[in-house]
Amino acid sequence: MNRVVKLCFAGSLVLAILAVPALSLGPETAGAQACVPSAGPPADPYPGTTAAASSFESGTLDGFGVSTSGTGKASVSTAQSHSGNCAAVLHATATPGSIARMTAALTPGATEAYADGWFNIAGEGKVGNNVPYFRFFADGIRVMDVFRQNITHELVLRTSTPAGFTYTTLRQEVPTGTWHRLVLHVVPNGPGTNVQIWWDGRSVFAGPVSTAATTLDTVQLGSEHDQQMADIYIDDVIVNSGTGQPAPVPGSLPAPRGNPSQPLNDFRGDRQPAVLAVGGRDSRAGLGRRPVRTPRIR
C-alpha cells in the first residue's frame, strides 16, 4: 500500500514539474499575465459610433453586456486566439437552462450597423440546432442573424419577415476548429432593408431583404435560447452603428484590422465563387441558393 501511495505521489510530482494537466475541464481561462493589454482594441474603420471593440487582450469582457445561466459560461481564454494571446469564449451545453451570450447596445434609433469579428467554432452542436455568430435585434425581436447549421455545416443568413423566416445559404461548408472573419453591414428599412455580408474578406451576399424593422438596437453573440450547445471562440470584434446617411450596399469592405499579417482562409473543397453577385446568387446549380421560407431551426 505504501508503495502505491509513493508511486501516485511521484507521478503527480512529475506532472506538476512538467506542467502537464492530468485533466482538461473545458476552455482555459486566461490569467491577466497571459494576455497582452498593450495591444489595445482593434481600430474601428466604419462610419458611425463604436458600440464595442475588443481584442480581449485586457483579459476581460468589458464593453459588452454578458449574460449566462445554468452551465453556460462567458470568459476570456488563452486556449485559442486569432491575434495576440487571448480571445473570448462562450460555452453553452445541452443541459436545460444553459445560456452564454454577449451583447452590444447600438446608438438609439440606429439606421445602420456593422458587426465585424473573427470566430472559431470548436465543435459540433446538437442535431436540429445551430451555432450563432452575429444576431441583430430591434425592440427585443430578432431581425436577422448568421449561423452555422450543425451537421450540415452550412453558413446561413436568416431574416425575420412578417410572413415568417427566410433562409439563404452563404457557404456550403464551415469546418470546426478554424478561424473565420464575418462582417455584416445592415441598413434596416422594412421591406427595403439592405444587407452586405463578407466572409473572410470576400463578399458572399449583397442585396435587399424584407424585414419589419426600420431601426436596430442590439447586436448579440452567443446563445439566444437554452441548450444551444457550443464552444465559440471570438476575437477582434467591432460593433458600430449610426443614424447618418448609410453607406451604399453593395459597397467595399473598409481596410482590415486585427492582425493583417494573417492570410485569408482559403476555400479548397468549397466550390462557391469568391465574390457573389447582388443578392448572393450564383448561376451554377446548387450554389448560392435563393432564399426560401421553410420551418427550419431555432
Per-residue pLDDT, averaged over 275-280, amounts to 37
- The percent of residues above 90 in pLDDT, for the chain, comes to 67
User: What confidence tens digit (pLDDT) does each residue in 75-126 have?
Assistant: 999 999 999 999 999 999 999 999 999 999 999 999 999 999 999 999 888 8
The answer to whether the beta carbons of residues 153 and 175 sit under 8 Å apart is yes
Enter the DSSP assignment of 29.
B
pTM above 0.85, yes or no: no
Alpha carbons within 13 A on the beta-carbon side of 273: 13
Q: Which residues contact 278 (CB under 8 A, 6 or more apart)?
A: 206, 207, 250
- CB count in 10 Å sphere of residue 271: 11
Q: Which domains does the chain have, with CATH numbers?
A: 28-242 (2.60.120.200)
User: What confidence tens digit (pLDDT) does each residue in 19-70 have?
Assistant: 323 223 344 455 545 899 998 899 999 999 999 999 999 999 999 999 999 9
Instruction: Tell me how far apart the alpha carbons of residues 32 and 83 are, in angstroms, rounded to a whole number.
Output: 16
State the DSSP string of 258-294. S-TTSPPP--TT--S-SS--TTS--SSTTSSPPPB--
Q: Which residues of 163-197 are buried (b: 16+ CB within 10 A; e: fewer)?
A: eebbbbbbbbebeeeebbbbbbbbbbbeeebbbbb
Instruction: Tell me how far apart the alpha carbons of residues 206 and 82 are, in angstroms, rounded to a whole number.
Output: 26
The answer to whether the beta carbons of residues 195 and 215 sit under 8 Å apart is no
